[in-house]
Amino acid sequence: MKISELCKKIEDSIHSGKYPLDHDDEKQLASLIQVINKSSSDDLKDKDIKIEVRLEDFYVLNNYIQSIQHLPGVIKIDALDSFKMLSRRMGRVEKSNVSLELEVRR
């Protein structure tokens, strides 16, 4: 399997709701996730694999070596964890913006 195929498969699974999402924020943001191959190659046997998980302006870049056991599964788990972390960050930004707007109106 190619890295780009794996990234697309993970992205589609999150978009479709295959993975359980705990919070409403995550469910709303699931359609925005992008899982992108940033490696110099599309081969899972490459020595340096880089996967970016992006939600709008927020992103996480994870890197891997090809000798990790069950590498596709590890990438899936990391992508889901990264998505959940980014969802929390985006939720904090939106909430802080609402608080600032309320203070300005007073």
pLDDT confidence bin for 97, thresholds 50/70/90: low
Look at strands 58-64 and 49-55 and give their pairing.
antiparallel
Question: Contact, 83 vs 55, CB < 8 A?
Answer: yes
pLDDT confidence bin for 82, thresholds 50/70/90: very high
Q: Which domain holds residue 21?
A: 3-105
Write the Ramachandran bin of 70: left for phi over 0, alpha for psi from -120 to 50, otherwise beta: left
pLDDT confidence bin for 91, thresholds 50/70/90: confident
Which residues have C-beta within 8 Å of that of residue 1, sequence separation ≥ 6?
A: 44, 72
pLDDT confidence bin for 76, thresholds 50/70/90: very high
Rounded distance between C-alpha atoms, residue 17 and residue 40, angstroms: 30
Structural domains counted in the chain: 1
What pLDDT shows up at residue 24? 82
Judge if pTM exceeds 0.85: no
Statement: residue 62 has pLDDT above 70? yes
Torsion angle defined by CA atoms of residues 76, 67, 38 and 87, in that order, rounded to the nearest 10 degrees:
30
